[in-house]
Structure formats: structure tokens, C-alpha cells
Amino acid sequence: MRTNLLRTAALTAALLGGVAFATAQTVEPKKHEDMIKSDSGKAGKEEPSAHTPTAPPENAAFWNGALVVPGAPANTDTVPAKHSAKNDADDKLPTWGYAFKHLNGAQRRAIYQSVKKEEPRAPDATAAIGVEVPPTVNLMALPSEVTAQIPETKSYRYVTTQTKVLLVNPLHRVVVEVLE
């Protein structure tokens, strides 16, 4: 009998304590409305990010994700895409496209000029990075002048469309670069 009384008292105390705790946590409706209310036309003007400085502080080592100490390389791959147009473009590039993203304009032109005279063998629909070239399309080896000048192209093949030259990974038959 005594244990039942003790158990009932403990349960009652826990129940009343829980109710008291829950009522202490409720938000007054007026306060809640004030928290979510904003004046029309002022949206974003008082946000903390609206007051961010536009230049790095004098003693900053990093600014917008980039190293800003003297002698640091500019526009590296570690800068967030929202602060670097180059990295933003790289983020949108399919993984297959990284094989030749480092080629400069002269190298791209050299490859294009050396093979563009070939008769088109692939449909224009295959002219995008990451697209699989049909097995019926014959892939050609790049000319030796090109592979001597740009050695990393040696293991790749090419195919031409009406207006483009496609560099293809021959193992998977996937387009890794589109030259125009």
C-alpha cells in the first residue's frame, strides 16, 4: 500500500513538473508575430550579411575563401565557387571534362586545325562532354604532330561532326572534350 502511494505521488509530481515546464516554454503570440514581421520594401537591408566589408581586413590571411597573404597564388581551385567565376564554371563541368580543361587556346586550335579536314563521322547530337559515342562510329588516333606537342592526348581518340572535333576516351567511348 505504501509503495502504491509513493508511486502515485512520484507520477503526479512528474506530471505537474512536465506541465509547468511546457507552459514556461510557450511563446506569447504577440512576440511571435513581431519576430516574423518585416516591413515591406526593407527586406534584406538589415540582414547581417548586408553589412559585410568589401575589402579584407589588414591582417587577414583568408578572404572569401582565398589566401590573401603576399605572394599567394590568385584564383586557385580552393576558392569557393560563389567568389570565383573560374571555379563556378569548373563545378558545372562533368567529371569527364577534367581531362583537358587545362588546354590553352593555342593547343585547342592546334588539335582542331590538324583534324578538322576529316569527313564528319559522328552526329552533332554526340557533341557534348559525357555523351557516349555510338559503337558504329569509327574513332581515329590523333596525328603524331599533335601528340608530340600535347603528350597527354596520346591515349585519346577523336571523331568529327559537321562543326566540331570531339576528343573521346576510347575505353568507354565517352566524349571528354569538344573543340570548335
- Domain shared by 173 and 100, yes or no: yes
Q: Give residue 173's pLDDT.
A: 92
Regarding whether 113 and 82 lie in a shared domain, the answer is no
Q: Measured between alpha carbons, how far is 70 from 68 in angstroms, rounded to an integer?
A: 7
On whether both 81 and 109 belong to a single domain, the answer is no
One domain, residues 11 and 76: no
Q: What is the pLDDT of residue 143?
A: 93
Residues 57 and 28 in one domain: no
Domain assignment of residue 124, yes or no: yes
Q: Examine the domain organization and report whether 99 and 173 are in the same domain.
A: yes
Tell me: do 71 and 142 sit in the same domain: no
Q: What's the pLDDT score for residue 154?
A: 93
**Would you say residue 135 lies in a domain?**
yes
Question: In terms of domains, do 67 and 12 share one?
Answer: no
Cell numbers given for 98: 577534367
Whether residue 27 is contained in a domain is answered as yes
CA angle 14, 16, 17 (to 5 degrees): 60
pLDDT for res 157: 94
Are 137 and 165 contained in the same domain? yes
- Give residue 95's pLDDT: 72
Side chain identity, residue 139: L
Please give the chain's pLDDT, 180 residues, in tens. Answer: 677 887 887 778 777 777 666 666 655 555 556 656 655 555 555 665 556 667 777 777 777 777 777 777 777 777 777 777 877 777 776 777 777 888 899 999 999 999 988 888 888 777 888 899 999 999 999 999 999 999 999 999 999 988 899 999 999 999 999 998
The answer on 83 and 99 residing in a single domain is no
pLDDT (0 to 100) of residue 175 = 92
- Judge whether 131 lies within some domain: yes
| Helical H segments across 37-92, by residue range | 85-92
User: Quick one: pLDDT at residue 116?
Assistant: 86
Q: Residue 42 domain-assigned? A: no
Q: What is residue 156's predicted lDDT score, i.e. its pLDDT?
A: 94
Say which residues have a Cβ less than 8 Å from residue 75's Cβ, sequence separation at least 6: 66, 84, 86, 87
Question: Could you give the 3-state DSSP secondary structure of residue 19?
Answer: helix
The CATH number of the domain where 168 resides is what?
Answer: 3.10.450
Tally of domains within the chain: 3
Residue 41 domain-assigned (yes or no):
no
- Render the burial of 5-44: b for 16+ CB within 10 Å, e for the rest: eeeeeeeeeeeeeeeeeeeeeeeeeeeeeeeeeeeeeeee
Instruction: Supply the pTM of this predicted model.
Output: 0.56
- Answer yes or no: is 9 within a domain: yes
Q: For the chain, what is the largest distance between any 2 Cα atoms, rounded to a whole number of angstroms?
A: 102
Computed over its alpha carbons, how large is the radius of gyration of the chain?
32
Domain that holds residue 129: 95-179
Task: Report yes or no on 43 lying in a domain.
Answer: no
Are both 70 and 107 inside the same structural domain?
no
75 and 29 in one domain?
no
